[in-house]
Amino acid sequence: MKLTSKSVALIPIIATVATAVVGATLISPPVANAATTLSAAAQQSGRYFGTAVAANKLGDSTYVGILNREFDMVTAENEMKMDATEPNQNQFSYGNADRIVNHARNQGKRVRGHALAWHSQQPGWMQNMSGTALRNAMLNHVTQVATYYRGKIYAWDVVNEAFADGSSGGRRDSNLQRTGNDWIEAAFRAARAADPGAKLCYNDYNTDDWSHAKTQAVYRMVQDFKSRGVPIDCVGLQSHFNPQSPVPSNYQTTLQNFANLGVDVQITELDIEGSGSSQAQNYQRVTQACLAVARCTGITVWGIRDTDSWRASGTPLLFDGSGNKKAAYNSTLDALNAGGGPGPTTTTTTTTTTTSNGPGPGGCTATVSLNQWNEGFVATIKVTAGSSALSGWTVTTTLSNATVTGSWSANRSGNSGTVNWTNVDYNAAVPAGGSTEFGFQGSGNGSGLNPSCAAR
Ligand code: 9MR
């Protein structure tokens, strides 16, 4: 079949660039019409500002009032964990998780999923498993939960806290780790297959200081995953800080170095013990660090009021127990309003190409969304069926000045020049008018990919 291609749209999205404010002094809003809520302020640079939410507080009007007003991203604090969602093997329970997801979505907020696979908060039946039975049970859990929430989750913490503390630079021992070192990548592949639209994150704590062995170990894993095409889109830094574990001076360096691997970074569970102006300054520093890194896409605090916190005695959050804004709230809001760098997406290119007989019976279209940075890019290609269902597809791309370094959800021929991509088993069938996605990362310049699609 002869293929013709036509580029129909080139849409550069230029992110807001605002003045960077550095230094330890608290800052004031630079403009008279500064945003007055955390989410509105974050949205000015294309970012989100989220919070952990507990289902049993959704009847508390003060809590819900602040939630609805201030935040545009929601993480279930405990309700999506393995013990909550699969209390008995293969019997899934989504009641409390759904209450949170539905509340968020009804309010126009997005959801971070937390967490699909973790050594902690496993249901009793899983704690006693090992070997192949445990590996399969874990993969089934990832598949079932990610499938249930398919299309509703912005990003999943696919694997949580899998690295050891201290200087070993290795994995944490756990029943999951003892199923084989590849358990993490197996979980990511299962999550991608179940919900190709969700960003897939690795999430951990004590990974904030660039010089720490644990940070380095996570970095090497992400680097390895990207080089081998294991599907990973983001790294979550929990960022639980206190005097024993303060905001490190190289925090922004850590965020930037992860981002340079071609993943988004997200601050996923921020809380900082303390009070008054020192706490406010720490929140300001963390916020400024995120804003200074283009691929830091958002910040989530781990609760709303100090009394909602898992460590309430440390008063680590932005609202006091009565729901009043603290100094830390004001410094965070001011930092968001001051901006500090380009937003998370610098360039998105959309190119549409069709088969010669158009997207009619037997035809399909392919569009590419490109995230390009200095030395490399991630391309996400969407395959959409025409008025007939597809039972298989081939997408042809041109990589004139680029080399593929990894890919997911498609088979490929070669890694530069003309590269053909064909469906894998689970995304071969596309209903009429429906779509599926695959992606790849590459070094060099990913512009001009010019994808064309054909049914096979
Ligand atoms: O805040 C959560 C608390 O209510 C639970 O009792 C606890 C159980 O492990 O988990 C807390 O959340 C943790 C998160 O899921 C993962 N990172 C550390 C968080 C604080 O412990």
Atom of ligand 1 nearest to the CA of 238: 17
Using CA atoms, how far apart are residues 249 and 246, in angstroms rounded to an integer? 9
Ligand 1 test: best mutation among 85, 310, 311, 317, most atoms within 8 Å of CB? 310
DSSP letter string, 2-18: -EEE--------PPP--
pLDDT at 170 over 80: yes
pLDDT at 142 over 70: yes
Beta pairing class for 393-399 and 417-422: antiparallel
pLDDT at 24 over 60: no
The per-residue pLDDT for 444 is 85
- For 400-409, how does the pLDDT look when each residue is reduced to its tens digit (9 = 90+)? 999 987 776 7
Ligand 1 test: best mutation among 57, 78, 301, most atoms within 8 Å of CB? 78
With a CB cutoff of 8 Å and minimum separation 6, the contacts of 108 are: 72
C-alpha 39 to ligand 1 mean position (Å): 23
Confidence of residue 102 (pLDDT cuts 50, 70, 90): very high
Confidence of residue 287 (pLDDT cuts 50, 70, 90): very high
Lowest mean pLDDT among 24-28, 259-263, 286-290, 365-369: 24-28
Using CA atoms, how far apart are residues 209 and 311, in angstroms rounded to an integer? 22
Note if 269 is an active site residue.
yes
The per-residue pLDDT for 426 is 76
pTM (2 d.p.): 0.74
Task: Calculate what percentage of the chain has a pLDDT beyond 90.
Answer: 78
The per-residue pLDDT for 380 is 80
